[in-house]
């Protein structure tokens, strides 16, 4: 691959991870709950997906392709969904502070992942990482690998099916929110739960379901990171947590609209890989210190986006009006 194509390639994979996290968080935030547990949920999902694949691969000589796909996918979704349910139990039912609960969930998820990885390492006997190679092979299988289609294939067709599924998910989420009755109800819950309640919407149910499914999607993002980006290797220091925070920032960058997430996350990832790829691409040798400065770009852009987003006046581009607020019907 040429340096430019390789930059685009890695950005699309990396961007997909952020996109999945952001889509899950958009769904959650549309119900009025700011879940800062995204890094933890991605960790949970990544670990559960990987661990289930790892265990399945070791349990059988001849793994079934369908099971190789289904087991880790469901495991990662379910594990992160449980995390989301825990979060909604704390914040919806017990009305705990959303920020504190979210941060605690991040610590919990990262902790469980790290703890579990130590167990996995002790099984394999390796000191640095464990690997689920068969699963990774299934998930990264792509058209370009079998038919060499040149640059076009390398840029557009060289990814596993989850990469495309993520774009489809963004479109479906957009259609759900904007074109369906349930989507309208969910948006109403996030904007003004009292109004939604008075309109006969089951606010608690909507909050629970949105947070749980949103959490599950974040979890698949974590699993995708392990299986496609890291080629099926799980190590305890794997950078998932940082991506989780980027996903939270990306929600704002996409102005809470799923249709904006693919472009926004790819752009984010391009900036992220700029430091590594720009010097190779342009042939300009730059000092290590400057490389470190370049690595800052996505975060600086995040700050800029936050500034722009908060000065923007249009109400439709703002987050849900009741985001972060706890709703209690009988409050007088």
Partner 1 sequence: MKDEIAVQLTGITKRFGPVTANSAVTMDVRRGEVLALLGENGSGKTTLMNMLSGIYFPDEGTIEINGTPASIRSPKDAFDLGIGMIHQHFKLVDVFTAAENIILGLPGKSRLNMRAVKEKIRGICEKYGFEVDPDRKVYNMSVSEKQTLEIVKVLYRGADILILDEPTAVLTPQETERLFGVIRNMRADGKSVIIITHKLHEVMEISDRVAILRRGKYITTLETKDADERSLAEAMVGEKLALNIDRSEPKNTTLRLEVKHLSCYNAEGIPTLSGVSFDAYGGEILGIAGISGCGQKELLESIAGLQQTRPGSSVLYYPDGGEAEELIGKSPREIRGLGVALSFVPEDRLGMGLVGSMGMTDNMMLKSYDMGAPVFLHKKDPSALAGAVRDDLGVVTPSLSTPVRRLSGGNVQKVLVGREISEAPTVLLTAYAVRGLDINTSYSIYRLLNEQKEKGVAVIYVGEDIDVLLELCDRILILCGGVVSGIVDAKSTSKEEIGLYMTKVGGPSDTDKSAGDYTDGNEENDGNKGKEDGR
Positions that interact with partner 1 (CB under 8 A): 179-182, 184-185, 187-188, 191-192, 194-202, 315-316, 318, 321, 329-330, 332
Least gap, CB of 111 to partner 1 (angstroms): 31
If the CB atoms of residues 41 and 186 are measured against partner 1, the closer one turns out to be: 186
Nearest to 31 by CA among 187, 192, 212: 187
Nearest CA among 220, 80, 83 for reference residue 139: 220
- Tell the smallest beta-carbon distance from residue 16 to partner 1 (Å): 28
Q: Within 10 Å of residue 153's Cβ, how many Cβ atoms? A: 17
Q: What is the DSSP string of 246-270?
A: HHHHHHHHTTT-GGGHHHHHHHHHH
Closest CA to 154 of 142, 139, 167: 142
- The residue among 285 and 315 lying less far from partner 1, judged by its C-beta, is 315
Q: Of 75 and 196, which has the nearer Cβ to partner 1? A: 196
Smallest distance from the beta carbon of 93 to partner 1, in angstroms?
Answer: 17
Shortest distance, position 173 Cβ to partner 1, whole Å: 15
Helix (H) or strand (E) holding 233: strand 233-235
What φ, ψ does residue 147 adopt, rounded to 5°?
A: -110, 120
CB closer to partner 1, 16 vs 254: 254
The residue among 20 and 34 lying less far from partner 1, judged by its C-beta, is 34
Of 206 and 223, CB closest to partner 1: 206
- Tokens matching residue 214: 């949103």
Q: Phi/psi of residue 58, each to 5°?
A: -75, -20
Using alpha carbons, select from 167, 134, 108 the residue that is nearest to residue 55: 134
C-alpha angle 32/312/300, rounded to 5°? 90
The distance of closest approach from Cβ of residue 195 to partner 1 in the complex, given in angstroms and rounded to an integer, is 4
Least CB distance to partner 1 at residue 278 (A): 40
Distance in Å, CB of 200 to partner 1, minimum: 3
What does the block give as tokens for 121?
A: 């390492």
Q: Phi/psi of residue 61, each to 5°?
A: -75, -40
Closest to partner 1 by CB, 100 or 199: 199
Instruction: Please tell me the distance from the alpha carbon of residue 65 to that of residue 69, in angstroms, as a whole number.
Output: 6
CB of 331 to partner 1, least distance (A): 10
Question: Please, which residue, 32 or 45, has the CB nearer to partner 1?
Answer: 32
Q: Which residues of 79-115 are buried (b: 16+ CB within 10 A; e: fewer)?
A: bbbbbbbbbbebbbeeeeebeebbebbbebbbebbee
């Amino acid at each position: 691959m040429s340096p430019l194509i390789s930059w685009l390639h890695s950005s699309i994979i990396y961007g997909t991870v952020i996109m999945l996290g952001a889509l899950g968080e958009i769904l959650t935030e549309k119900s009025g709950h700011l879940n800062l547990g995204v890094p933890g949920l991605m960790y949970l999902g990544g670990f559960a997906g990987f661990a289930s694949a790892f265990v399945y691969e070791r349990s059988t000589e001849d793994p079934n392709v369908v099971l190789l796909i289904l087991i880790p996918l469901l495991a990662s979704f379910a594990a992160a969904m449980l995390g989301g349910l825990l979060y909604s139990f704390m914040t919806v039912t017990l009305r705990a502070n959303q920020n504190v609960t979210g941060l605690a969930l991040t610590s919990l998820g990262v902790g469980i992942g790290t703890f579990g990885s130590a167990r996995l390492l002790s099984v394999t006997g390796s000191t640095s990482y464990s690997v689920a190679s068969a699963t990774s092979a299934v998930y990264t299988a792509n058209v370009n690998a079998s038919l060499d289609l040149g640059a076009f294939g390398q840029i557009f067709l060289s990814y596993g099916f989850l990469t495309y599924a993520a774009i489809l998910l963004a479109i479906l989420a957009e259609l759900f929110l904007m074109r369906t009755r349930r989507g309208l109800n969910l948006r109403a819950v996030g904007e003004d739960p009292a109004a939604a309640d008075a309109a006969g919407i089951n606010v608690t149910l909507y909050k629970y379901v949105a947070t749980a499914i949103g959490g599950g999607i974040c979890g698949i993002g974590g699993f995708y990171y392990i299986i496609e980006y890291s080629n099926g290797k799980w190590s305890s220091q794997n950078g998932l947590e940082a991506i989780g925070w980027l996903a939270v920032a990306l929600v704002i960058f996409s102005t809470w609209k799923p249709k904006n997430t693919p472009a926004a996350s790819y752009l984010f990832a391009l900036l992220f890989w700029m430091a590594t790829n720009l010097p190779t691409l342009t042939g300009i040798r730059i000092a290590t210190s400057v490389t470190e400065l370049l690595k800052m770009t996505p975060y600086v852009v995040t700050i800029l986006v936050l500034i722009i987003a908060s000065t923007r006046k249009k109400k439709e581009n703002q987050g849900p009006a009741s985001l972060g607020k706890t709703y209690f019907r009988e409050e007088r």
